[in-house]
Amino acid sequence: MTFSGIITASTLVGLPAGNGSTFPSTARRVRTALDRLGIPTHEVQVNGGVARAVDPVDLHRITRLALAQRNAGIAPEDAPSPDLWVRFSEASPKIQAHARRLFEAVSIVDRAVSEGRSIAKGIEAAMAKTKQSEATVSRAWKAVRDVPRADWLPTLMPAYKPGGERAEVSEEAMSFFLGLLKDASARYLTLPLGPNPV
């Protein structure tokens, strides 16, 4: 199980370890493998007990990828795109959660269509169940309709790109702006308190 960014050892059972091997088939052996690989572990409270867990950033990239696919119900035989899934596994939890909400909606539309209902009826059902707008569900459906189902989840991630390069500000310009702020705050502090005169 995953708990706020921490992954318990039992969750790693059977996943690739990233060094050409696979994690063992029991949680106890996974803990031994984590020690052998030098991956730091932490004790976390789980269901009234204590479990050993790892931070996802300490795992090999291949392990994080396989974990993301397993959590989405994608098997290796589904032939998912490694590039898309690597991007998904490295995305922030907020971006992953956004994609999961859209995935839930398009899955409802897909189920409706496979049952013989129209796309419009499927979109209505998805809107009712997920509380998302018609435009959002329609955009998500259009984004995945020509994509293999195994790649729907990473396809629905927003095309977020961090900001560009930071702008350089000269010392002279910085002094000018700081002076303006200082003058403005001094004027503000000298304003009379109380009701404004009419």
Per-residue pLDDT of 78-92, as tens digits, reads 677 777 888 887 788
pTM of the predicted protein model: 0.56
Cα(100)–Cα(102) distance, rounded to whole angstroms?
Answer: 5
Q: Which regions in the chain score pLDDT beneath 70?
A: 1-5, 75-78, 160-164, 185-198
Specify whether the CB–CB gap between 137 and 130 falls below 8 A: yes
Distances (CA, A) of 53 to 95, 128, 137: 23, 37, 36
pLDDT for the residue 41: 83
Give the pLDDT score at 4: 44
pLDDT in tens, 122-141: 999 999 999 999 999 999 99
**CATH numbers and ranges of domains, the chain:** 2-71 (1.10.10.10), 87-155 (1.10.10.60)
What is the 8-class DSSP label of residue 22? B
